[in-house]
Amino acid sequence: MDGIGPLSKKLFSAAKEVIPGGVNSPVRAFRNVGGEPFFVRRAKGSRIEDVDGKSYIDYIGSWGPNILGHAPTVVTNTIHEVAKSGVSFGIPNPFEVEMARTVCDWVPSVEKVRMCNSGTEATMSAIRLARGFTKRDLIVKFDGCYHGHSDSLLVAAGSGALTHGEPDSAGVPGDFARNTAVLPYNRPEALEELFAREGEKVAAVIVESYPANAGFVLPRPGYLELLARLSREHGALLIFDEVMTGFRLGKAGVQGIEGLSPDLSCFGKVIGGGLPVGAFGGRAEVMDQLAPDGPVYQAGTLSGNPLAMAAGLAQLRELARPSGYPRLEQLGAHFEQGLRTLLDAKGVPHRLNRVGSMFCLFFTEREIVNVDDVMKQDMEFFRKFFWGCLAKGIYLAPSPYETGFLSLAHTEADLDETLGVFDEVLGGI
């Protein structure tokens, strides 16, 4: 099934000699689809080109941040101009203030925000802040929700639905995992039982409000409201991880869609314009516990980097135009309708989740409620589908556990071309 070009193969062989696994992030290794990755030479708009000269319509967009498409002129010009004055200072710069004001203006639950350099830093810092504010240790997370690779959050479910977690990686001490309880997502009875038993110990509940790292899973009606209510009743903080969904599904992300106000929120991706970035923010009384005003320490030399802040602001200004989010919804609806029609006509068992410009196709008839359902889809069918699409110039996530992304650079012609390829590939499986 591997159709990767010779120069990509040569580069991957060289990479494996000096980079663990040949990649700087595991999903890039294509292990979930049984092959080797291609290497990208350039990208523009909705398309990427590999080092062997093959072009693909891209539905990854650097895993979410490239919401305007690849190398949008408004962002690249901004980076070029700002870089002339310096790329990093380690001293406050005006772009930090403008970005913080924009985040606070767009997300009503955020009264103060602090910048950092990645989603992992954002969630790690929010957890430390929640523990410092509540003076409690226990964190509640959900199986299948990924919040970066910090020790407290790289924890999997234990042997039972209500046990404390177990390390999900070598190198994570058991003591860290014992302070993290892991529950199945979308199971209200498990959440209610845990709070009834240990509610006074819970510092925070952290959740990918729309989980997007184990496919794309949507909450059952009332589930997020239950999270908010139980957290509030027991004095725990509610943390929304909106690293994927923030500023992609609307100005206020999932919390804007659902009408909820978490105590803390974590962001990344879109607000960096394609450069490394993270942020966490929330209620002022909580955020004021951060140093230098409070006892909770958090720092970063490159936090609020002028290039990332300026690039992100340029991107957000484009999204704020009338042709921004409504256009993304229009593209998403066009793609969803065409894909559902095609799959129904082919008689392919499937589930399709889509909100705005985020989507995920599951090859199963099961209702997708949480990661257990995602793992029971037809993995071999997905593998054949992925390689068939890649061979014909369509780049989807190289894993059945990842979300797809549309951008403002995609056109109806791109989507229709993609659906045509899907038709051909499905006909050959």
> Which residues are part of the catalytic machinery?
146, 241, 269
Q: What are phi and psi of 343, to 5 degrees?
A: -65, -40
- 199 DSSP 8-state letter: G
User: 164-176 as b/e, with b when 16 or more CB fall inside 10 Å?
Assistant: bbbbbeeebeeeb
The count of C-alpha atoms lying within 13 angstroms of the C-alpha of 50, restricted to the half-sphere facing its C-beta, is 24
Contact predicate 411/57, CB 8 Å = no
Give 18's contacts (C-beta < 8 A, 6+ positions apart): none
Return d(Cα 196, Cα 259) in angstroms, integer. 26
Return d(Cα 123, Cα 129) in angstroms, integer. 10
Helices and strands per DSSP (H, E), number in the chain:
14, 16
Return d(Cα 400, Cα 215) in angstroms, integer. 7
Q: Measured in whole angstroms, how far is the alpha carbon of residue 281 from the centre of its chain?
A: 17
Place of tokens 């203030």: 97
What's the start-to-end Cα distance of the chain, in Å?
A: 12
Return d(Cα 32, Cα 55) in angstroms, integer. 22
Q: What are phi and psi of 241, to 5 degrees?
A: -85, 100
Based on C-alpha coordinates, what's the Rg of the chain? 21
For residue 412, give the 3-state DSSP assignment. helix
Q: Where are the alpha helices (DSSP H) in 259-321?
A: 284-287, 306-319
Which residue, among 402, 336, 252, 317, has the nearest Cα to 68 in the 3D structure? 317
- 16 DSSP 8-state letter: H
Beta-bridged to residue 167, according to DSSP, are 155
Both tokens assigned to 331: 């593209």
- 70 DSSP 8-state letter: B
Place of tokens 């209510």: 229
The count of C-alpha atoms lying within 13 angstroms of the C-alpha of 24, restricted to the half-sphere facing its C-beta, is 1
